[in-house]
Amino acid sequence: MEIETLKKNHLTRNIIIGVIVIALITTLILNFTRAKYRVTESFPLINGTITYIPYDLNIVAIYQQNEAGGYDEVDIVPTSGYTLNTSESYCAVDDVKDEDITIEYINGKINILGTSQKGTKCYLYFDIQVLASDTILAGKTIQERTDFSTVLTENTNGTIYQAPDGEGTSYYFAGNTTENWLQFAGFYWRIIRINGDGTVRIIYNGTSTSATGTGTKLSSTSAFNSSSGNNASVGYMYTNGEVHGLGTSSIIKSAVDTWYQNNIASNTDYKSKISTTTGFCGDRSPSTNETISNGSGGTGTTTTYYGAYIRLNINKIPTYNCSNDSDLYTTEGSEIGNEALTYPVGLITADEVAYAGGIRGVNNSSYYLYTNQDYWTMSPYFFSAGTAYVFYVNSSGSLTYEYMPNALGVRPVLNLSADVQLSGTGTADDPFVVN
């Protein structure tokens, strides 16, 4: 009798376990056949595993563009170097395209959004990614300039110049070019250069390609800083008593930040196109001797000649390199620079003006940075006789210097991300457009 009861207990336990296992398997099948993505996963059970494949969505084919412009069928989604062709890619139910399904390609991964039904089939087409730098350089003759002692006034269409920078090689526009127009964020810009990291540096030029005069800068002028009686105030950011301090924002930085906050940061799409890793150099390397590039000075009321003064006023040799990381203004998370910026926006440097064709103290109305307006750069000039000065471009196109409390024009500078794509040819009638 005791043995018979024991057998019944074992039988009852086995039946219960079997029912539980069947219920678990049934629940898993019902839940996961509703999934929108074709996946294969394994779930641990009481003894062993069960493998399931949701079958309501099937990526039937993946096509990858080849160098000839056609498409080859491949087995996996490319992780880089390609963009999803949204015009060609689609999902269908019973061979009828489902317009409610959206296909996204982000960071090498496919997201399929919207309604789907059992039997949905998707076809993905990937095009070779053409970077902004590729579009800008297409058809251009690349040259080097070695003489920066005279203004550059000639038509330079078809030509782009190269020079080293801290991240590689920069390709820059110079002279009277008409092929560096760009439309972005509701404004028109002139491309300054392709930075060494592949990002594209642009300077504000108004709300149309026909804008002239005051229309090429922000509506409000700005002082660079309110006080000029101390060396520290030449900094885009500064700290009294420090050569390369970053404790306080200059007035001009606050003006530029406000513009960016209102016009770029408030738009997710615009903001996503801006590089947050590339910097802006406000070189404060000091010297008490106007003919050498280093030495003491830079604090208090010591007479000081800053790096750009020596390079552009004395030696006539500009540079894209930034000699001190504390003067390379970047946002938090960048692998270079001071990471002190709130927003990834700045001003043009005096060296960039020199590369473009401007000269210290010489008028030039025949290069693309000429606007018949005064506007600030972010490069310190010198401190002398209790007064600090910063480089600016004057209304005659000359690179010169100004007493910092005076109000001049403001032209924000941005760096477009290296992976943005452009259409257009860069002319005023067909400007590059950020896609």
Helix (H) or strand (E) holding 28: helix 2-32
pLDDT at 108 (0 to 100): 81
pLDDT at 217 (0 to 100): 98
Give the whole-angstrom CA distance, residue 278 versus residue 322.
12
DSSP-assigned states of every residue in 385-420? TTEEEEEEE-TTS-EEEEETTS-BB---EEEE-TT-
| pLDDT tens per residue, range 129-169 | 999 999 999 999 999 999 999 999 999 999 999 999 999 99
Give the whole-angstrom CA distance, residue 124 versus residue 58.
11
| pLDDT tens per residue, range 176-227 | 999 999 999 999 999 999 999 999 999 999 999 999 999 999 999 999 999 8
- What one-letter code names the amino acid at 24? L
Three-state DSSP at 112 gives strand
pLDDT at 79 (0 to 100): 86
- In the chain, the percentage of residues whose pLDDT exceeds 90 is 75
Q: In this model, does residue 408 exceed pLDDT 60?
A: yes
Q: Which residue has the higher pLDDT, 44 or 13?
A: 13
Model confidence band, residue 16 (pLDDT cutoffs 50, 70, 90): low
| pLDDT tens per residue, range 270-309 | 999 999 999 999 999 999 999 988 888 899 999 999 999 9
Q: In this model, does residue 53 exceed pLDDT 50?
A: no
Q: In this model, does residue 249 exceed pLDDT 80?
A: yes
